């Protein structure tokens, strides 16, 4: 067990370090390019390749993890993030939209290799069915702590932009990741995650009904979040509410941190009937509850009697708490449904759907916000969540 815990904490620590840079980079790009006069659609386009290559990476990355081992795919991910950050250290005159999109593409590949590797590794460390209760807790802690640190990354990114500037912030993150990569290389087991029977490339697409359904639900769930969270919300805070970079970064960081804490506590919150772990019925209940929140926020934003700032802050906190529970349930279910040998194939397929949802949400966030405003983004988010609930009904069978 000592070895298992050591491996778990090396994986978690590497994931933590990577996540801080991922959150910081996202906030740096949004705030810095908005300050340069980029529109909401322009900013959304900067993340287009980040999300698109996340779709491809999760599909192919699961196959690579089964062949090479999850330690290698994790290290490749960290190395690619270092390269992406290095690309953004150039002079401002070279930071054109296509160039930044290329750097973001590398970062998207890196992020999803890292996520797929970390999440799949937990299944290997605790593979037995009878340990599903403990698996739920370990996955919830990994996912929740990661998101709390992503929130810290949002704050760090906004702070670094103010204190040292865009390029210098990239250099500091490169140094931190280099240290992380060296430590992980020496401490992580070399054979972790290698499949006993090497899967063929045509096996990438899942044939499991449960995994296909859960993946479709995940796509719409994360699309619903990113439609209003990724571009529309920070731009609305600055353009309409006149928030500063530090205010935007600090609030969104606090939101992600609380979101991550709730994810870590999800096993306690959802264990109402003393069950060992959630099932499809649990997933349906929580997404139905979530689906009404964006619509209520949009309705109140339309009413001039309400204070938009208060409505958004309170509404976003409520949304984040319930969304965190939904996300944690899904993160457990994918490991519960996945096969024992070659788990990275199933997890990669699932996170491909997750990345596709983020891609759709990111593009729609810029387009809908510029076309009809934040209220429209919220209404479309509610529609996506209703679709998620409809798909989740089938997980009960």
User: Residue 135: which pLDDT band, with cuts at 50, 70 and 90?
Assistant: low
Q: Kindly list the distances between the CA atom of residue 91 and the CA atoms of 29, 94, 189, 197, 243, in Å, as whole numbers in the listed order.
A: 15, 6, 40, 48, 27
Average pLDDT of the chain, as a whole number: 80
Helices (DSSP H) in the chain: which residue ranges? 2-35, 40-46, 48-68, 70-87, 97-125, 132-163, 166-187, 209-229, 232-239, 245-270, 280-302, 308-337, 343-372, 374-393
Q: Is residue 200 included in any domain, yes or no?
A: no
Selected residue with higher pLDDT from 389 and 232: 389
CATH of the domain at 220: 1.20.1250.20
In a domain? residue 120: yes
Which structural domain range is residue 145 located in?
2-192+205-396
Give the count of domains, the chain: 1
Confirm whether 197 is domain-assigned: no
Q: Is pLDDT of 63 > 90?
A: no
Q: Is residue 115 part of a domain?
A: yes
Give the span between the Cα atoms of 12 and 146, in whole angstroms: 8
> From CA 45, how far away is CA 90, in angstroms rounded?
20
Interatomic CA distance for residues 98 and 49, integer angstroms: 10
Is 199 contained in some domain?
no
pLDDT tens-place string over residues 303-341:
766 777 888 889 888 998 999 899 888 888 887 777 665
Residue 203 is given by DSSP the state G
Whole-angstrom distance, CA of residue 281 vs CA of residue 277:
11
Instruction: Please choose, from the candidates 132, 22, 118, the residue with its C-alpha nearest in 3D space to the C-alpha of residue 74.
Output: 118
For residue range 245-254, what is the model confidence (pLDDT) as tens digits?
778 878 877 8
* pTM of the entire predicted model: 0.73
Residue 114 belongs to a domain? yes
Whether 198 is in a domain gets the answer: no
Residue 279 domain-assigned (yes or no): yes
Which DSSP state fits 271? -
Angle (deg, nearest 10), helices 308-337 and 97-125? 50
């Amino acid at each position: 067990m000592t070895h298992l815990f050591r491996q778990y904490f090396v994986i978690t620590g590497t994931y933590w370090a990577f996540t801080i840079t991922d959150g910081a980079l996202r906030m740096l790009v949004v705030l810095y390019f908005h300050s340069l006069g980029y529109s909401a659609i322009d900013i959304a386009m900067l993340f287009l390749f980040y999300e698109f290559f996340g779709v491809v990476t999760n599909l192919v990355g699961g196959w690579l993890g089964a062949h090479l081992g999850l330690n290698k795919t994790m290290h490749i991910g960290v190395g690619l993030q270092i390269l992406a950050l290095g690309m953004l250290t150039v002079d401002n005159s070279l930071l054109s939209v296509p160039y930044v999109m290329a750097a973001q593409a590398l970062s998207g590949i890196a992020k999803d290799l890292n996520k797929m590797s970390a999440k799949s590794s937990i299944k290997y460390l605790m593979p037995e069915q009878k340990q599903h209760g403990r698996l739920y807790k370990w996955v919830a802690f990994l996912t929740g702590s990661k998101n709390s640190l992503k929130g810290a990354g949002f704050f760090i990114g906004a702070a670094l932009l103010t204190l040292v500037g865009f390029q210098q912030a990239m250099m500091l993150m490169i140094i931190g990741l280099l240290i992380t990569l060296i430590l992980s290389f020496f401490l992580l087991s070399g054979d972790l995650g290698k499949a006993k029977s090497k899967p063929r490339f045509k096996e990438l697409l899942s044939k499991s009904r449960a995994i296909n359904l859960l993946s479709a639900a995940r796509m719409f769930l994360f699309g619903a979040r990113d439609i209003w969270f990724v571009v529309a919300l920070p731009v609305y805070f600055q353009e309409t509410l006149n928030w500063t970079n530090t205010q935007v970064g600090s609030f969104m960081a606090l939101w992600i941190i609380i979101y991550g804490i709730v994810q870590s506590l999800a096993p306690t919150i959802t264990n109402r009937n003393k069950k060992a772990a959630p099932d499809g019925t649990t997933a349906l209940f929580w997404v139905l509850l979530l689906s009404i929140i964006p619509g209520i926020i949009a309705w109140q934003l339309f009413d001039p009697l309400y204070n938009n700032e208060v409505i958004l802050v309170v509404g976003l906190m409520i949304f984040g708490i319930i969304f965190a529970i939904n996300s944690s349930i899904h993160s457990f279910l994918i490991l519960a449904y996945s096969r024992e040998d070659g788990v990275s194939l199933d997890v990669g397929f699932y996170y491909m759907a997750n990345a596709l949802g983020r891609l759709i949400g990111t593009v729609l966030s810029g387009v809908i916000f510029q076309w009809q405003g934040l209220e429209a983004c919220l209404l479309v988010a509610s529609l996506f969540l209703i679709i998620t609930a409809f798909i989740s009904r089938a997980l009960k069978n």
